[in-house]
Amino acid sequence: MGVIVFLVILGALTSIFFNTLQDAAAWLRDLPTRLVHQDISTTFRQSITEIASTKGDILEVATMQTDETVTKFDMKSAFNEAVYLGTTISEIRTPVVYRYHIKLSEDWQLSLADGVCTVRGPSLRPTLPPAIRTEGMEKKSEAGWLRFNAAENLAALEKELTPTLEKRAGNKAHLDLVREAARKSVAEFVKNWLLKEGKTHQGDVRSIVVLFQDEAQTSPAAVPPTLLIQ
């Protein structure tokens, strides 16, 4: 009877020992992942600082070409607006190349959870001035029936063209048009860093989600994976 009890106790202790060894092995196996979770944001910011100091502070992430139309109206009347003298309308239509960038020196935040690397990068910004493709530019100007300032109105519009397009470059509509392309560029940039640093070892990172600082209210769960890592 005593031998049986001894064997039962020995078996239990052996089971506990092997379970402890398995737990310890699992802990050691997962240790690199835990360290990555803790250190990835800090390590990335340090790397970015080095990149910015050697290659410059600007990372271009998107380019877009579109046709823009800018119009200037000049209406005139006389006798306290009792007599309408006509409206001069000038218009410029031109292809414009917009470029967008983020600053490497600004705040970056990286986090890992369940194989997803979430990146919160700096705000998306237009590179100014935009490039105006003058070879495709079209101009027209028509004076009102008692107006003779078509040339002057067009000249004034040409002076306003670059500042007007700079404002358009930074508006929400234009930023939204290039946002997904910019996400992909940032994701590729982060992926290359992850591979270089060996952070994808043992499948630590399976996908990358990118958000910009001007999307502070957006939850990462609301954004589909920007890039899948095979």
In this structure, the dihedral spanned by the alpha carbons of residues 122, 125, 127 and 130, taken in order and rounded to 10 degrees, is 160
- Per-residue confidence (pLDDT) for residue 34, from 0 to 100: 43
Q: What is the mean pLDDT of the chain?
A: 83
Q: What's the average model confidence in pLDDT over 135-163?
A: 94
- Per-residue confidence (pLDDT) for residue 158, from 0 to 100: 97
166: three-class secondary structure by DSSP? helix
pLDDT of 69 above 80: yes
Number of domains the chain is built from: 1
Q: What's the average model confidence in pLDDT over 203-228?
A: 86
pLDDT of 127 above 70: yes
Range of the domain at 17: 2-228
pTM score, two decimals?
0.77
Q: At what angle do helices 172-197 and 2-55 cross, to 10 degrees?
A: 120
- Per-residue confidence (pLDDT) for residue 139, from 0 to 100: 97
Indicate the pLDDT class of residue 103, thresholds 50, 70 and 90: very high
